[in-house]
């Protein structure tokens, strides 16, 4: 096999139930469904951190948030850190960055950069020059959206990706890596054209919300979601409808639920618009003859609550925010129409590097490409994530969240309670499994180290230092994930 081209397609804030191939009965996603039928769908894929910038920093570095330092939006990652496009560049790749970054400075290993910010901004990025030349404002003006479907931001990004791929192929300077980072369905929920009305006649499932559940949230969660006064004593200002406040009259609640239904339909319409644009990019790869030697990986940085559990945000470990779409396809190399279970965003750089014929000893993630090409299961046995001062683990049956400052957590039975409404953490009959999962999660968290920095700084010293140096230099970033797998398998074997 020739060194493959790589196309990484990401969206922003796309829930797993925006895809029919993931079991959503109402989703409109024909192009991604087709991609899943031509590749492998990971049904238990999760982001490394259910918020934008931390997840994207984990994607670029392959490190968990406590190691790269970006534990929440507004906190910069550490510099300098190796990033996977650097290694692709060493393999002769032409690297293309097209779309939203939000992971800090863009590495010099990208040859072409067309960077954009969010739709609510009015800056002078790549999209601004495009859309203003057609007489439309850069900043989204809401619904109805005056911008035609063919000129809207995500169409512009796909057009740009196609154009830059064509140029890279024409110049013939080795394989290409194209990172096409779409911005929708992130708010504002402003799908263009017919997509604003696409779900008008669809009856969406009721939101998964029970009166009173917000008051039982952990303090950590309430702080991140703006449900209480912050550390300055001031309650954050909320823009638009973000939370379903408990204790309100029936008429007010009915009006809020009507607005929720409108917002949800616009959100799913935005996701369907992304599906169409992704379909155009895949169609180009088919039409140009590039598809057979191109690995496509589609995913999203995190999901979004869409008022499940009473609020519309991420910054939490509910499935709506933490679980994500994740599809890999390379006809003739990877299986077609198959499914696997677990993957996380830290696995993406290890996977893309393996496809390119290289690797990094520092990445805290698994290579998914090689096992898939061999028809094997996913090497990951569970999902794990961090968010500010917390961590969480999800197995096939259990989900445990743990909040360090509060020294307690939440426990859900994912099979018996798929809507995640029954917290079992304090119930004595679940004490054994709770303690096992807490021990496993905290052991994994304490096992995380910056392997690159440890190896780089290991030199000299006395007899103990010399004795331990070979062990330090043999460390790999994936070691913590392997030990996590082993612990989860032990728990599974105990029944």
Domain ranges of the chain: 5-204+257-381, 390-493
Query: 240: pLDDT confidence band, cut at 50, 70 and 90?
Result: low
d(CA 419, CA 271): 22
pLDDT in tens, 289-325: 999 999 999 999 999 999 999 999 999 999 999 999 9
The pLDDT, as a whole number, for residue 62 is 98
Q: Indicate yes or no: pTM above 0.85.
A: yes
Phi, psi of 5 (to 5 degrees): -75, 160
pLDDT in tens, 339-349: 999 999 999 99
The pLDDT, as a whole number, for residue 250 is 60
Average pLDDT over the chain, rounded to whole? 94
How many Cα atoms sit within 13 Å of 409 on the Cβ side?
26
Per residue in 251-275, is it b (16+ CB within 10 Å) or e — as a string? eeeeebeeebbebbbbbbbbbbbbb
Which CATH class, in words, describes the domain spanning 5-204+257-381? alpha beta
d(CA 319, CA 43): 12
According to DSSP, the β-strands at 5-11 and 176-181 are: parallel
Using alpha carbons, list the distances in angstroms from residue 307 to 106, 199, 201, 244. 34, 17, 20, 7
Residue 201 has pLDDT above 90, yes or no: yes
d(CA 205, CA 226): 26
d(CA 358, CA 250): 60
Residue 229 has pLDDT above 90, yes or no: no
Sign of CA dihedral 415, 28, 101, 283: positive
Residue 282 has pLDDT above 80, yes or no: yes
Please state at what angle helix 431-447 crosses helix 479-493, rounded to 10 degrees: 170
Range 261-273 average pLDDT: 98
Residue 384 has pLDDT above 70, yes or no: yes
d(CA 481, CA 126): 38
pLDDT in tens, 43-93: 999 999 999 999 999 999 999 999 999 999 999 999 899 999 999 999 999
The pLDDT, as a whole number, for residue 275 is 99
CA dihedral 25, 26, 30, 35 (to 10 degrees): -50
The pLDDT, as a whole number, for residue 248 is 54
The pLDDT, as a whole number, for residue 245 is 63
Range 2-14 average pLDDT: 97
The pLDDT, as a whole number, for residue 253 is 78
HEC per residue, the chain: CCCCEEEEEEECCCCHHHCHHHCCCCCCCHHHHHHHHCCEEEEEEECCCCCHHHHHHHHHHCCCHHHHCCCCCCCCCCCCCCCHHHHHHHCCCEEEEEEECCCCCCCCCCCEEEEECCCCCCCCCHHHHHHHHCCCCCCCCCCCCCCCCCCCHHHHHHHHHHHHHHHHHHHCCCCEEEEEECCCCCCCCCCCHHHHCCCCCCCCCCCCCCCCCHHHCCHHHHHHHCCCCCCCCCCCCCCCCCECCCCCCHHHHHHHHHHHHHHHHHHHHHHHHHHHHHHHHHHHHHHCCCHHHEEEEEEECCCCCCCHHHECCCCCCCHHHHECCEEEECCCCCCCCEEEEEEECCHHHHHHHHHCCCCCCCCCCCCCHHHHHCCCCCCCCCEEEECCCEEEEECCCEEEEEECCCCEEEEEECCCCCCCCCCCCCCHHHHHHHHHHHHHHHHHHHHCCCHHHHHHHCCCCCHHHHHHHHHHHCCCCCHHHHHHHHHHHHHHHCC
Given a contact cutoff of 8 angstroms between Cβ atoms, the answer to whether 401 and 317 are in contact is: yes
Per residue in 14-30, is it b (16+ CB within 10 Å) or e — as a string? bbbbbbbbbebeebbbe
Q: Residues of the chain with pLDDT > 90: what percent?
A: 90
Range 425-433 average pLDDT: 98
Residue in the structure block whose two tokens are 């607005």: 259
pLDDT in tens, 172-195: 989 999 999 999 999 999 999 999
Per residue in 154-182, is it b (16+ CB within 10 Å) or e — as a string? bbbbbbbbbebbeebbeeeeebbbbbbbb
Range 383-388 average pLDDT: 98
Residue in the structure block whose two tokens are 């929708």: 184
The pLDDT, as a whole number, for residue 237 is 39
């Amino acid at each position: 096999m020739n060194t493959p081209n790589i196309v990484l397609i990401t969206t922003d804030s796309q829930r797993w139930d925006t895809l029919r191939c993931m079991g959503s009965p109402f989703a409109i996603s024909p192009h991604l469904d087709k991609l899943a039928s031509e590749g492998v769908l990971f049904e238990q894929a999760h982001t490394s951190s259910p918020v934008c910038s931390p997840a994207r920093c984990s994607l670029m570095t392959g490190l968990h948030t406590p190691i790269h330092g970006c534990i929440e939006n507004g906190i910069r990652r550490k510099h300098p850190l190796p990033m996977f496009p650097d290694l692709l560049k060493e393999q002769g790749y032409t690297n293309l960055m097209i779309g939203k970054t939000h992971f800090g400075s863009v590495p010099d290993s990208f040859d072409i950069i067309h960077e954009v910010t969010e739709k609510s901004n009015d800056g002078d990025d790549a999209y601004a020059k495009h859309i203003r030349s057609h007489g439309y404002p850069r900043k989204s003006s809401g619904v109805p959206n005056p911008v035609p479907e063919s000129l809207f931001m995500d169409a512009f990004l796909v057009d740009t990706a196609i154009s830059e791929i064509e140029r890279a192929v024409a110049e013939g300077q080795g394989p290409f890596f194209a990172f096409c980072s779409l911005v929708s369905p992130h708010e504002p929920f402003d799908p263009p054209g017919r997509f604003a009305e696409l779900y008008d006649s669809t009856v969406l499932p009721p939101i998964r919300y029970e009166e009173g559940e917000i008051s039982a949230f952990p303090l950590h969660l309430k702080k991140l979601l703006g449900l209480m006064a912050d550390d300055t004593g001031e309650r954050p200002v909320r823009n638009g409808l973000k939370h379903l406040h408990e204790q309100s009259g029936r008429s007010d609640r009915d009006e809020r639920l009507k607005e929720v239904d409108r917002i949800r339909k616009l959100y799913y319409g935005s996701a369907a618009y992304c599906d169409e644009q992704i379909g155009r990019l895949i169609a180009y790869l088919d039409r140009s003859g590039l598809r057979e030697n191109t690995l496509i990986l589609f995913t999203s940085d995190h999901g979004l609550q869409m008022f499940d559990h009473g609020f519309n945000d991420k910054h939490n470990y509910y499935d709506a925010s933490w679980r994500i779409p994740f599809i890999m396809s390379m006809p003739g190399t990877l299986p077609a129409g198959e499914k696997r279970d677990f993957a996380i965003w830290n696995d993406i750089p290890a996977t893309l590097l393996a496809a390119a014929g290289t690797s990094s000893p520092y990445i805290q993630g698994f290579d998914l490409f090689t096992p898939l090409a061999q028809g094997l299961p996913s090497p990951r046995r569970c999902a794990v994530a961090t968010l500010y001062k917390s961590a969480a683990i999800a197995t096939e049956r259990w989900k445990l969240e743990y909040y360090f400052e509060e020294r307690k957590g939440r426990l859900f039975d994912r099979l018996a309670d798929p809507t995640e409404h029954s917290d079992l953490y304090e119930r004595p009959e679940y004490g054994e499994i709770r303690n096992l999962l807490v021990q496993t999660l905290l052991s994994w968290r304490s096992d995380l180290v910056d392997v690159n920095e440890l190896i780089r700084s290991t030199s000299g010293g006395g007899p103990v230092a010399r004795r331990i140096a070979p062990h330090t230099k043999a460390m790999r970033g994936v070691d913590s994930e392997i030990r996590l797998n082993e612990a989860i398998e032990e728990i599974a074997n105990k029944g």
